[in-house]
């Protein structure tokens, strides 16, 4: 809801933007869905495209300049940030938990206080209006380690540990 409230603020201020929301609501409780629909209706420059599958990511990321992850939860390893970085998209996210650890404010993305739609709207407006910001932040993105790279590193560590000489133990 934070992103929708921020989009509504920008729309009321006349800031041209487009907020595209992906993800399903199938398993959300009805009060949440009703609140979501009302917030979406109040944000004329936002649209909800519904659920997607991982194979859709390259096509969905192609027209995107920035990825928003304004979660109010203490996410520990937010996949959406890794996916954004994989596609070299800077992220605007909440300065909380794993999101704050994954995004370096002003380096490869922007961080805002969690739940603060005013600050999120300001960061979105900065992303829209500040010359060179997108290119500078995109260039500083470190692509995440792939599953194959992580598996190879773990296998190499395991082999190195197996090959290491045993450490002598001294009895007390």
Q: Give the domain ranges of the chain.
A: 2-144
Asked whether residue 172 carries a pLDDT value surpassing 80, the answer given is no
The pTM of the full predicted model, rounded to 2 decimals, is 0.86
What pLDDT was estimated at residue 76?
84
- CB crowding 39-56: b at 16 or more within 10 Å, else e: bbeebeebebeeeeeeee
pLDDT at residue 28 in the model: 94
CATH 3.40.47.10 fits 2-144, yes or no: no
């Amino acid at each position: 809801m934070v992103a929708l409230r921020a989009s509504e603020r920008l729309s009321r201020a006349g800031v041209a933007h487009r907020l595209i929301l992906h993800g399903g609501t199938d398993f959300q409780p009805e009060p949440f869905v009703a609140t979501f629909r009302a917030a979406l209706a109040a944000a004329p420059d936002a649209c909800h495209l519904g659920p997607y599958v991982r194979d859709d990511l390259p096509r969905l990321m192609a027209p995107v300049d920035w990825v928003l992850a304004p979660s109010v939860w203490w996410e520990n390893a937010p996949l959406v940030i890794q996916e954004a970085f994989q596609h070299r998209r800077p992220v605007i996210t909440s300065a909380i938990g794993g999101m704050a650890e994954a995004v370096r404010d002003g380096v490869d993305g922007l961080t805002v206080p969690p739940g603060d739609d005013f600050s999120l709207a300001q960061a979105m407006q900065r992303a829209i209006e500040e010359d060179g910001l997108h290119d500078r932040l995109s260039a500083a993105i470190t692509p995440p380690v792939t599953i194959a790279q992580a598996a190879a590193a773990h296998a190499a560590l395991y082999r190195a540990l197996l090959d290491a000489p045993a450490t002598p133990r001294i009895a007390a």
